[in-house]
Structures are given as C-alpha cells and as structure tokens.
Amino acid sequence: MSELANAAAGRELSYAQAIQEAIAIAMEEDSRVFIMGEDIGVYGGAFQVTGDLVHRFGAERVIDTPIAELGGAGVAVGAALTGMKPIYEFQFSDFATLAMEQIVNQAAKLRFMLGGNVSVPLVMRFPAGSGTGAAAQHSQSLEAWLGHVPGLKVLQPSTPHDAKGMLLAAIDDPDPVMIFEHKILYKMKGLVPEGRYTVPIGKAAVVREGRDLTIVASAIMVHKALTAAEELARDGIDVEVVDLRTIRPMDRETIIASVMKTGRLVCVYEGVKTLGVGAEIAAMIAESEAFDYLDAPIVRLGGAESPIPYNPELEKAVVPQVPDILAAVRSLHKRER
C-alpha cells in the first residue's frame, strides 16, 4: 500500500504497536528471528511493546530472561553468530551499562577480528529518555555512547512509521543494530502502512522545509522542534527541521545541504550536551564546505550536566523543552557572523 493510499485509509498505529507489528512480520517471515528480554512474555514488556507475541509465537521464540543483562546480551550475540537473528530488549536503556562487554567488545568487533568471516545479525532495543518520572538510573539517553563504537549502527526513530520501517531494516542488516526508542513516544500515533516496508538506515529526513535556520534533532526532540517551528513561523522565522533518525552512520549529505541552504544551525538532543550527538554534528559542519555558509555560530542545545532528577519540574528543566528551542532560535536568528 502506498503512503498516499494508506493516508486515505487512515490506518493509525501507536509507536509501540508499530514496533510489535514489525517484530511479528519478521518472525512470520523467518524462523530464525526471535525476541528475548525481561518480562517480554506473558507480561507483554515493561512498556507493553511485545504484547501478545508470546501467545502467537510461543515461549521458545519470545523468551523471558532473568535480570542479568550481561548474560542475556551474551546469549544474543552467541545466537547471532550461529545464524539466528535475535532481537534483545533491554527493559530500560540504562541497563545497557551492565552489558557493555558483550555490546562493545563482542558484537561490535567480531566481524573485524575474524577477518569478515562471520556476521552478527543482532538487534538490540533500548527504551530510553526522560519524562516518565523514572529518575536517574532509568531515564538516560545513552545513544552517543554506542554511537562512538565502530561496528555498531545506532538508530533513533521518531515516528510510528519509522519505528516499524527502521526495525525491519535493522533485522535485515547483517551487523549489530542498536535502536533507541524514546519512552514518551510509545503512545504516539501515526500513519503506518500495512505489511513489510523498510526505512533506510543512515538516511535523515527533512520533516519541515525552511529557509532561515536548520534544527537537527532526533527522537522526541523532533516533535519539540516542529512545535517550536510552528510558533516561530508566526514571528516570521522559517525553520527547517531535519530528523536525524540514524546516529551512526550519520547522514552528512542531508545535514550539510540543509545548513548550506539556511546558514544557521541548532542541534537539539536530549543526551548530555558535552561530547553528545550535537558535538559530532557541529564538528561535521565545521570540517565541511557548509562552514563557509554559516551566518552565525552553531548552537548545541543538549541535556544539562546532571543525572535526571525524580522531581517532575526538575526533570523537565534538565532536558531541552520547546521554550528552550524558541529562545535559542530567536537569539541565533538575530546574530550575524
């Protein structure tokens, strides 16, 4: 079904439903695909993403694991090496810290260390980000950590459409793919085509055209940027919004072209500002032909130098919000080189 036909049909799914549908499609198509993680079986997952998959595919393919992320990740890596196609769900992205040995030293490096004679067709899914009152150990945005590791692909879909299409592309990929799913997006609804389709890994999307300034964002920050852009338009500031979608490999061409068009850049991301995704984007522009097109300095709008607080008002204060984006854009729009 084309996107136009799908829009006419008005088929909407939530972000969580889109992910579940992608998993079901992959499992129906290929008996090598299975999913594992804590509470993903009868309970349906901490965020109800896996739902009734255990009833549809059985406990041998929808595997509840112990609270032992290092061991679970090791099983997933080993299964991938033997030709299976595991999808490993971390209950919270923060728990990846317990499995970094398997992610960083094994999954990411085995193809290289064994001379290209093996592949690790592994997908890991990470419910990430703040906004649920889950405090410092359950609310982090760690995508930049894994984006630093050669051998991994790192994705951050922002819509139900992309969540389904990028997950199917990840399952098809012969190398390990890490998908960060912002927890606040799970209930968001959007148009999702039926059946199989893929969204290419490594390709950003211009989700709003503009002429005055570029905002590059990912995950939930895309929606905050779009909200800000609509308000800024009423002030006569025409903002272009680029949805990064993939942290690694990053789409240099789309970002550079947008900055050359608008002459101004704001990077908006939830992870801590220092050494974050926005730093890489800023360096990319500084080292590219787009640098000579800048009419003002690049602005990075990232998370504060703080663990995520439990208090809801403090939690909002340490990550960029729409008013922060408005203030940054208005200030930058006034500045000249």
What confidence tens digit (pLDDT) does each residue in 188-198 have?
999 999 999 99
The number of helices, as runs of H, and strands, as runs of E, in the chain is: 13, 14
Cβ 326 vs Cβ 239: under 8 Å: no
161 is catalytic: no
What's the CA gap between 120 and 114, in Å, rounded?
Answer: 11
Closest CA to 220 of 73, 27, 15: 15
Residue 109 buriedness (CB in 10 A; 0-12 / 13-18 / 19+): middle
The SS3 assignment for 137 reads coil
Please identify which of the residues 21, 38, 69, 240 carries the catalytic annotation: 69
Q: Is the pLDDT of residue 10 over 70?
A: no
* Residues 159-189 pLDDT 10s: 999 999 999 999 999 999 999 999 999 999 9
* pLDDT 10s digits, 32-90: 999 999 999 999 999 999 999 999 999 999 999 999 999 999 999 999 999 999 999 99
Residue 251 pLDDT exceeds 70: yes
What pLDDT is attached to residue 23? 98
Closest C-alpha to 259, from 296, 222, 306, 303: 296
9-23, 73-87, 166-180, 303-317, range with the lowest pLDDT: 9-23
Distance of CA 315 to the CA centre of its chain: 20
Which domains occur in the chain, in start order?
3-191 (3.40.50.970), 205-334 (3.40.50.920)
Task: For residue 160, give both structure tokens.
Answer: 């139900």
Q: Is 69 labeled as catalytic in the residue annotation? A: yes
pTM exceeds cut of 0.75:
yes
Give the Å distances, CA to CA, from 36 to 63, 204, 335: 5, 29, 51
Token pair 């990550």 in the structure block, residue: 319
Q: What is the pLDDT of residue 334?
A: 84
Residue 335's pLDDT is what?
Answer: 75
Q: What is the chain's mean pLDDT, rounded? A: 95
How is residue 37 written in tokens?
């993680």
21, 89, 138, 315: the catalytic one is 138
In this prediction, residue 5 has a pLDDT band, given cuts at 50, 70 and 90, of very low
